[in-house]
Amino acid sequence: MFDLVFNTLFFALNSNVYGLANISISSFDVLLAYIVAIIVSILVALVLRIPLLPSKPYRYSFDVSAIYPTPIIAIGILSIFLVLNFTFMYNGIVLAVIIGILSALFVKYLFDFVFPKPLTGDEGEDINE
Protein backbone atom coordinates (compact mmCIF):
# COMPACT_ATOMS: atom_id res chain seq x y z
CA MET A 1 0.00 0.00 0.00
CA PHE A 2 2.83 2.37 0.78
CA ASP A 3 4.47 1.72 -2.58
CA LEU A 4 1.42 2.86 -4.56
CA VAL A 5 3.04 6.06 -5.83
CA PHE A 6 6.30 4.29 -6.66
CA ASN A 7 4.58 1.44 -8.50
CA THR A 8 2.38 3.86 -10.43
CA LEU A 9 5.42 5.86 -11.52
CA PHE A 10 7.36 2.72 -12.39
CA PHE A 11 4.67 1.34 -14.66
CA ALA A 12 3.79 4.73 -16.15
CA LEU A 13 7.39 5.53 -17.06
CA ASN A 14 8.51 2.11 -18.25
CA SER A 15 5.45 0.56 -19.86
CA ASN A 16 5.46 2.47 -23.18
CA VAL A 17 1.73 1.88 -23.60
CA TYR A 18 0.55 3.07 -27.02
CA GLY A 19 3.96 4.58 -27.76
CA LEU A 20 3.70 7.26 -25.07
CA ALA A 21 7.13 6.71 -23.54
CA ASN A 22 7.92 10.42 -23.80
CA ILE A 23 5.23 11.27 -21.22
CA SER A 24 6.65 11.35 -17.74
CA ILE A 25 5.01 12.53 -14.56
CA SER A 26 6.68 13.13 -11.26
CA SER A 27 5.71 11.64 -7.93
CA PHE A 28 4.42 15.06 -6.88
CA ASP A 29 2.02 15.09 -9.85
CA VAL A 30 0.75 11.62 -8.99
CA LEU A 31 0.27 12.55 -5.34
CA LEU A 32 -1.48 15.78 -6.33
CA ALA A 33 -3.80 13.89 -8.68
CA TYR A 34 -4.73 11.47 -5.88
CA ILE A 35 -5.45 14.33 -3.47
CA VAL A 36 -7.55 16.16 -6.08
CA ALA A 37 -9.54 12.98 -6.79
CA ILE A 38 -10.22 12.44 -3.08
CA ILE A 39 -11.28 16.03 -2.41
CA VAL A 40 -13.46 16.32 -5.52
CA SER A 41 -15.19 12.99 -4.84
CA ILE A 42 -16.00 13.96 -1.24
CA LEU A 43 -17.24 17.44 -2.21
CA VAL A 44 -19.45 16.15 -5.03
CA ALA A 45 -20.80 13.43 -2.74
CA LEU A 46 -21.75 16.07 -0.18
CA VAL A 47 -23.40 18.17 -2.91
CA LEU A 48 -25.41 15.08 -3.92
CA ARG A 49 -26.50 14.79 -0.27
CA ILE A 50 -24.68 11.59 0.52
CA PRO A 51 -24.12 11.58 4.30
CA LEU A 52 -20.61 12.27 5.54
CA LEU A 53 -20.61 9.22 7.83
CA PRO A 54 -22.67 6.01 7.69
CA SER A 55 -25.41 5.31 10.22
CA LYS A 56 -24.53 3.93 13.64
CA PRO A 57 -23.22 1.40 14.56
CA TYR A 58 -20.41 2.17 12.14
CA ARG A 59 -18.92 -1.31 12.32
CA TYR A 60 -22.00 -3.11 11.00
CA SER A 61 -23.30 -0.39 8.71
CA PHE A 62 -23.55 -1.09 5.00
CA ASP A 63 -24.66 2.45 4.18
CA VAL A 64 -22.64 4.47 1.70
CA SER A 65 -21.12 7.74 2.80
CA ALA A 66 -18.92 10.51 1.46
CA ILE A 67 -15.92 9.19 3.39
CA TYR A 68 -16.24 5.53 2.39
CA PRO A 69 -16.38 4.15 -0.41
CA THR A 70 -16.47 7.30 -2.57
CA PRO A 71 -12.79 8.38 -2.42
CA ILE A 72 -11.63 4.75 -2.40
CA ILE A 73 -13.36 4.13 -5.73
CA ALA A 74 -11.95 7.40 -7.09
CA ILE A 75 -8.32 6.62 -6.27
CA GLY A 76 -8.72 3.04 -7.49
CA ILE A 77 -9.97 4.10 -10.90
CA LEU A 78 -7.38 6.88 -11.09
CA SER A 79 -4.65 4.35 -10.32
CA ILE A 80 -5.80 2.17 -13.20
CA PHE A 81 -5.55 5.10 -15.60
CA LEU A 82 -2.14 6.19 -14.29
CA VAL A 83 -0.70 2.68 -14.51
CA LEU A 84 -1.91 2.50 -18.11
CA ASN A 85 -0.01 5.77 -18.68
CA PHE A 86 -3.14 7.74 -19.54
CA THR A 87 -2.88 11.14 -17.84
CA PHE A 88 -5.08 13.23 -20.15
CA MET A 89 -4.40 16.94 -19.50
CA TYR A 90 -2.31 18.82 -16.95
CA ASN A 91 -0.50 15.72 -15.71
CA GLY A 92 -3.66 13.95 -14.62
CA ILE A 93 -5.38 16.76 -12.71
CA VAL A 94 -8.31 17.04 -15.14
CA LEU A 95 -8.61 13.26 -15.18
CA ALA A 96 -8.68 13.26 -11.36
CA VAL A 97 -11.52 15.81 -11.34
CA ILE A 98 -13.53 13.81 -13.88
CA ILE A 99 -13.00 10.56 -11.99
CA GLY A 100 -13.91 12.24 -8.67
CA ILE A 101 -17.20 13.46 -10.12
CA LEU A 102 -18.02 10.12 -11.74
CA SER A 103 -17.19 8.12 -8.60
CA ALA A 104 -19.54 10.27 -6.50
CA LEU A 105 -22.30 9.82 -9.09
CA PHE A 106 -21.64 6.07 -9.11
CA VAL A 107 -21.90 5.82 -5.33
CA LYS A 108 -25.09 7.89 -5.26
CA TYR A 109 -27.02 6.16 -8.03
CA LEU A 110 -25.46 2.79 -8.93
CA PHE A 111 -23.57 1.46 -5.90
CA ASP A 112 -26.54 -0.37 -4.36
CA PHE A 113 -27.34 -2.08 -7.68
CA VAL A 114 -23.79 -3.26 -8.26
CA PHE A 115 -23.07 -4.17 -4.62
CA PRO A 116 -26.37 -5.03 -2.88
CA LYS A 117 -26.65 -4.95 0.90
CA PRO A 118 -26.63 -8.33 2.68
CA LEU A 119 -29.87 -9.74 4.06
CA THR A 120 -30.61 -9.19 7.73
CA GLY A 121 -31.62 -11.97 10.11
CA ASP A 122 -35.31 -12.25 9.20
CA GLU A 123 -35.26 -11.17 5.53
CA GLY A 124 -35.57 -13.85 2.89
CA GLU A 125 -37.43 -16.33 5.10
CA ASP A 126 -40.92 -17.58 4.42
CA ILE A 127 -43.45 -16.38 7.02
CA ASN A 128 -45.86 -19.32 6.49
CA GLU A 129 -43.48 -21.93 7.87
Whether residue 88 is predicted with pLDDT greater than 50 in this model: the reply is yes
Whether residue 129 is predicted with pLDDT greater than 60 in this model: the reply is no
In a domain, 26, yes or no: yes
**Number of domains, the chain:** 1
For residue range 90-100, what is the model confidence (pLDDT) as tens digits? Answer: 888 999 999 99
Report the predicted TM-score, pTM, of the whole model to 2 decimal places: 0.75
Q: Where are the strands (E) in 1-129, listed by range? A: none
In a domain, 123, yes or no: no
Average pLDDT over residues 67-93: 89
Q: Considering only CA atoms, which of 25, 28, 31 is closest in space to residue 12?
A: 25
Its domain, for residue 23, covers: 4-114
For residue range 14-68, what is the model confidence (pLDDT) as tens digits? Answer: 555 444 444 567 788 889 999 999 999 999 999 999 999 888 777 777 888 999 8
Decide: 80 and 46 in contact? Cβ < 8 Å.
no
